[in-house]
Amino acid sequence: MRVASSLRAVARAASSEARRVPTYGREGAFFVGETATSGRGAYAARDFAVGEAVVVHERPLVCAPSRANGRAIACETCVRESGGERFCSDACARAGRVEFERERGIEFDELEARCDARALKFPLVVARAATMIASGSLQYGSLEFLVSANGVEKAPPRQWVEEWETLRSALARARPALEWTPSLEWYAKTTSRLHLNSFRVEIPPAMVGAGADFKSTMTAGIDAIARGAASGTAVYFTASLFNHSCAPNAHVSWENGDAAITIRTLRPVRAGEEFNITYVDANERSASRRARLKEWYGFDCACERCASGED
């Protein structure tokens, strides 16, 4: 997930048959190539028409629901609308991580309070990744594929150190004690990866309540979603390969109503062309888009739209 590439890089990647293997996405829809300025990127393995799926229902490596009024606004396992309940289904309430936390008596009340007070979203996603690793439902090292900031673990911000201490003290109460607990270095690296690679999961209100046992339209969760709050935060393996452009040729959606992500083309895309999605609202004007990209992802956008001076 970084800056959009130049046409030169697209041509170079397209000319290299070797880079077409291995392919990813739906039926080998894309391959990974090096861009000129943004590290790796996702390139079309064939021609695509408008609206074709490139990635279909990719499940997140880790996800967590957004919070409002001191509680999660969606299912704590899959981020699906849950009518104000902690989980949307029995399966989500019995997920490996959840069972593990219950058995070991792990609770994140202090970390949640800290996040609620400061409007933080990443510490709880990191906490989830930590218990998933400790329980064996996420392989240690499986997040290392994601881009992180260089050297961030050597001098982590004070705030991250405090978050890590809060997480550590929650995990230290586990009985029996955990076989693995996160180091500060792991915490800082993982937080950095989330900053650079996480998606705001935005399940449209129209999908909310589509389930058979929809309870009430007046729950805090639905209210928060209706006000435009994201349902949650998630990181993905292949979706993280898609670079940003302010004039994207593909877009992301959550068609299942949970954190599984789908990427579809917005216009015809030729074989060898890089797929781009937008990390911000592409309808915003140039100055505000660029400011957000700088603040949230730390780069100066060099996409064709920005380079052309178009607003």
Should residue 303 be labelled a site residue for Zn ion when binding is judged by CB under 5 A? yes
Evaluate the CA torsion angle 196, 148, 17, 9 in order and state its sign.
Answer: positive
Sole binder of Zn ion in the list 6, 35, 77, 191 (CB under 5 A): 77
Should residue 88 be labelled a site residue for Zn ion when binding is judged by CB under 5 A? yes
Size (the chain), residues: 311
Residues numbered 232 to 271 that lie near Zn ion (CB under 5 A) are 246
Helix axis angle for 122-135 and 109-118, nearest 10°, is 160
Should residue 45 be labelled a site residue for Zn ion when binding is judged by CB under 5 A? no
Q: Least CB distance from residue 289 to Zn ion, whole Å?
A: 6
Residues 6+ apart with CB under 8 A from 295: none
Q: How many residues touch Zn ion (CB under 5 A)?
A: 10
Give the bridge partners for 251, in sequence order. 264
Give the bridge partners for 65, in sequence order. 232
Should residue 171 be labelled a site residue for Zn ion when binding is judged by CB under 5 A? no
Decide whether 264 or 290 has the Cβ nearer to Zn ion.
Answer: 290
Q: Least CB distance from residue 210 to Zn ion, whole Å?
A: 14
Sole binder of Zn ion in the list 78, 95, 178, 188 (CB under 5 A): 78
DSSP-assigned letters across all residues of 111-162 = HHHHHHHHT--HHHHHHHHHHHHHHTSS-TTTTTTS---TTTTTS--HHHHH
Q: Least CB distance from residue 243 to Zn ion, whole Å?
A: 11
Whether the CB-CB separation of 233 and 198 falls below 8 Å is answered with yes
Should residue 306 be labelled a site residue for Zn ion when binding is judged by CB under 5 A? yes
Should residue 301 be labelled a site residue for Zn ion when binding is judged by CB under 5 A? yes
Dist CA 115 CA 130 (whole Å)? 17
Decide whether 156 or 221 has the Cβ nearer to Zn ion.
Answer: 221
Binding region for Zn ion (CB under 5 A) = 75, 77-78, 80, 88, 92, 246, 301, 303, 306
